[in-house]
Structure 1
Amino acid sequence: MNALRSSDVDSAYSWLRLVLTLILGTVACVGNWSVVVVLPTLQLEFDTLRGGASLPYTCTMLGFAVGGVVMGRLADRLGIVVPILIGAALLCAGYVLAASTSNIWQFAALSIVIGLGSAAGFAPLISDLSHWFRKHRALAVTFAASGSYLAGAVWPLVIEHFQSAYGWRATHVGIGLFAPAAMLPLALALTRRPATTTYAAAEAATEAARGELGLSANALQAILVVAGFACCMAMSMPQVHIVAYCGDLGYGVAIGTQIIALMLGLGVVSRLASGFVADRIGAGPMLLIGSAMQGAALLLYLFFNSLSSLWVISGLFGLFQGGIVPMYAVIIRQFLPPREAGARISLVLMATVLGMAGGGLASGFIYDATQSYRLAFLHGFLWNVVNLVLVGWLLIWPKWRQRSKAALAR
């Protein structure tokens, strides 16, 4: 494989690689959203409650979380091509086999395989692309992370169309054949890897940044893991249940699918805008702003449920929360060792995925217990408060530490 020269950083090739990464992530992350669309159908066909029907989503997210860490480590050691090839094979097997399942437990088990495959299109791609940019790193990272949201804007509409025309089983077979056919040629275009000198320069910069922050690498990692879990416990409620929520309110599953497509399409806009802003004000402040706005949108869901208000609030939710998750990756690249970027970014993103899985499952059980999503939205908001506290502390801590040192020096 060719080594990355310093002149290649922020180069025309870097931007080409960004485009290929975005396309690849959009294809691979189909697994995150297909189960959201078929959730109401699975509940009817397999005769289960809403909590049971939410289980495949949780299993997908668990596979996505574990797969992200494994694929991230592979990307650190072997480059990005290997995890992409493995992910393509897993998606093919998972979707084709899921089409022949006869109960919710079999479908849930194969959802783990689908999640493992989709993981290749998220954290490993983010960490890989971050090495190709310096000046515009936040924007590049948000582009890489936008593949999952672009998948959420495109795939639900595609899946709903083919599910209505041919059934969910035939649709799953089609996805299983399409994913590897699209991913393999894209993977082969990403064979170049960073040079040793590129890593050395980045290592020196992150060590200096950690010294100013006043936290060890593992301490910062732990804080980001908890913060990521909390924000996605909050984020999961609208994303996982908005289709079913619209069905319960009498607006129909098709309307719910259109709303989630709008939400995630605007999430792409949010991610790109947040990357642009973070390159100027910093990833920490941008993370705090995004978290605060996400909490505000969750509160709106508590008070309004007309069809027009759901369109507006869901659009706002997409705009508010889309930039949150990529900021963790930017912070990691700013403060933590670059040679461990794949594993460390994957660990934090694993926490966000576990938050999505846990939040989606919890919301389903809250609904079963109360026959309402009201407490589920409140549950999400409280987790959002936890995230705000942790992120706020990270921003305040270095300033407080510097003032304490100055006071002791007097």
Structure 2
Amino acid sequence: MVAVVSRPGVDSGYAWRLALVSAFCICLGGGSIYLPVVALKEIAAEFGDRRSVPSLAYLLGFFCMGVGGVVMGWLADRTSPRVPLMIAGVSIVIGGFVASSGGELALYVGYALPLGFLGNAATFTPAMNNVQGWFERRRSTAVSIISAGPAFSGFVWPQVYRWLLPDVGWRQTLMIYGVIAGTLLFACAFYVRPAPVVRHHGGKRPPEDLSVLPMPSLTLMGLLSAAGFCCCIAMAMPFVHMVAFCGDLGFSAARGAEAVSLILATAVASVFAMGRLSDFIGPLRVSILCSLIQITSLVGFVFVDSLMGIYTLSIVLGIPYIAIVQGYALILRQLYGPTIAGWRLGVIMLFAMAGMAVGGWMGGAIFDATLSYRAAFQAALAFNVLNLMLLGTLYFTPRRRAVSLP
């Protein structure tokens, strides 16, 4: 007699556990990107005191994460979401050694390929696509758990780095990160299963229905991609340079790290609140609200010069920090439905990560040219206004028969 093994279904206990494990994997995979933020001055000191060097490593890590997200989303659709995580585990171990092993080229190559394209990229997009397929009733809450992964990463790892850096330096710190994060990621991969909607179609996603979109699919993807690029340029400039910005105002690096942690701690709380709010007013309205809040914070950063003001603005910036990107995933799922191709979110995240990359680099380049962050924050404000205009365009586009965006 053969025993029948039941598989977990939509909204099951396994689905919630998977969401938590996936968020943990995202937290592990994203850790490397925060070292150039916390150790910006230490890394720059080894390369002619040029802040553009760690800023460029940050740019490459984020941009290649975005490019890799498209590839990993495609790979997960055709194999299993477990496969990208296994690749990430091995790659992050290798990347930690490569990026810390030599000069500028090693730093750039390590952040671009093993840490970015093959490492961090393999965590967020495949996990977000997979977990959305495991939920119907509480999808926004599950998406919030996934979206909180980068915030947890940015909250935890800077504190670890701040503890390690004085004793072992940034190179050894990066090696330690690679070994710990890569090993845990590889182990967690064995817990991940594909969503039921994929299993029920022979391991492949059914075809999309594009007839109900409010505009041509190519136009819609372009608009959301541009919106993601602009909002992430804007948020990256104060975030990436927060520690250095505080140092320039006469505050210690510890105060800057605390401001970064405030942004990310607020983001963790906000992402759940905004996810619930999306259930009532829709993800597009929530993304527009987040854009307005981010504009408010950037106006403040142009003029702030007190530590309490920095802390306050960091909390304000934390409200949309993750929630606005979460909104893009929910908008895509609402528009394209359960059969959405995995690469679509990867494309949006590519442009969002490119925005984070360009914003982080641009902040360092503008500082090197002007010896001040004021012009950088003004540029960030301009990009955020453009983001608001793009989201407004989608909001006021007439809806087709089967789509209802509040």
- Per the TM superposition, whether the score is higher than 0.5 is yes
1:250 maps to 2:250: yes
SS at match of 1:125: helix
In 1, Cα distance between the equivalents of 2:258 and 2:6? 42
The answer as to whether partners of 1:263 and 1:315 remain within 8 angstroms in 2 is yes
Work out whether 1:262 is the aligned partner of 2:262. Answer: yes
* 1:244-323 aligned within 5 A: 244-323=244-323
Matched, 1:85 2:78: no
> 2:135 aligns to what?
133
Question: Is 1:199–1:338's contact at 8 Å kept on the other side of the alignment?
Answer: no
What is residue 150 of structure 1 aligned with on the other side? Answer: 152
2: CA distance, partners of 1:29 / 1:253:
21
SS in 1 for 2:223: helix
* Mapping 1:306-385, distance limit 5 Å: 306-336=306-336, 338-385=338-385
1:164-188: CA deviations, max 9, x gaps?
Answer: 1221122111111111221122110
Q: Specify the alignment match of 2:56 in structure 1.
A: 55
Q: What's the counterpart of residue 221 of structure 1?
A: 221
Deviation at 1:339, TM superposition (A): 4.4
Q: C-alpha separation between the residues in 2 aligned to 1:18 and 1:343?
A: 20
**Structure 1 counterpart SS, 2:311:** helix
Question: Structure 2: any 5+ residue segments left out of the alignment?
Answer: 402-406
- What amino acid is the match of 1:28? G
CA distance in 1, matches of 2:45, 2:194: 48
Give the match's secondary structure for 2:397: helix
Contact 2:147 2:322 in 1 (8 A): no
- Residue segments in structure 1 that go unaligned for 5+ positions in a row: 403-410
Q: Note the alpha carbon deviations across 1:7-60, whole angstroms, 9 max, x for none.
A: 821222211111111111111111221221121111112214222331111111
* Paired residue secondary structure (1:397): coil
**Conserved? CA contact 2:41–2:49, under 8 Å:** no
Matched position secondary structure for 1:191: coil
Separation of aligned partners in 2, 1:73 and 1:123: 10
Residue 19 of structure 2 corresponds to 18
Structure 1: which amino acid aligns with 2:81?
Answer: I
- Show the counterpart of 1:408: none
Aligned-residue identity in percent: 34
Structure showing the higher helix proportion among its residues: 1
Does residue 182 of structure 1 match 2:188? no
The 8 Å contact of residues 18 and 143 in structure 1, kept in 2 or not, is answered as: yes
SS of 2:24's equivalent? helix
Is the 8 Å Cα contact of residues 57 and 107 (structure 2) preserved in structure 1?
yes
CA distance in 1, matches of 2:288, 2:355: 18
Within 5 Å, give how 1:185-224 maps onto structure 2: 185-196=187-198, 207=209, 211=211, 213-224=213-224
Amino acid at match of 2:84: P
TM-score (norm 1): 0.90
Deviation at 1:362, TM superposition (A): 1.2
Deviation at 1:257, TM superposition (A): 1.2
Q: After superposition, give the CA deviation of every residue in 1:97-140 in whole Å (9 maximum; x if it has no partner).
A: 22221x22321221112112111221111111110112222221
Matches of 2:41 and 2:230 in 1, distance apart? 27
1:76 shift after superposition = 1.1
For the 8 Å contact 2:32–2:177, the answer to whether it is kept is no
CA contact (8 A) 2:90 2:186 kept: no
- Is the CA contact 1:3–1:193 (under 8 Å) kept in the aligned structure 2? no
Matched residue count: 394
Amino acid at match of 1:52: V
State the AA in 2 paired with 1:10: D
**TM superposition shift of 1:211:** 4.7
Distance verdict in 2 for CA 1:52–1:171, change over 3 Å: closer
Aligned partners of 1:340 and 1:387: how far apart in 2? 24
Q: 1:4 to 1:133 in 2, by over 3 A?
A: farther
- Report deviation, 1:151: 0.2
2:92 is aligned with 1:96: no
Structure 2 match to 1:407: none
Q: Is the 8 A contact 1:213 1:398 kept in 2?
A: no
Residues in 2 aligned to 1:199 and 1:375: alpha-carbon distance in whole angstroms: 53
The whole-number CA distance in structure 2 between the counterparts of 1:155 and 1:9 is 33
Map of 1:31 onto structure 2: 32
* Alignment CA distance shift 1:250-1:109 (3 Å): same
Aligned partners of 1:52, 1:195: CA distance in 2, in Å?
45
Alignment CA distance shift 1:350-1:36 (3 Å): same
TM-aligned CA distance change 1:137 to 1:44, over 3 Å: same
Q: Distance in 1 between matches of 2:57 and 2:235?
A: 18
- Could you say if the C-alpha distance between residues 45 and 196 of structure 1 is closer, same or farther in structure 2, counting changes exceeding 3 Å? closer
Deviations 1:193-241 (A, max 9, x none): 42458679x979x74xx65543122221111111111111111111111
Name whichever of 50-59 and 365-374 sits farther off. Answer: 50-59
- Secondary structure of the residue aligned to 2:39 is helix
Distance in 2, Cα, partners of 1:225 & 1:323? 16
CA contact (8 A) 1:217 1:335 kept: no
Counterpart in 1 of 2:46? Answer: 45
User: TM-score, structure 2 length as denominator?
Assistant: 0.91
SS at 1:156 equivalent: helix
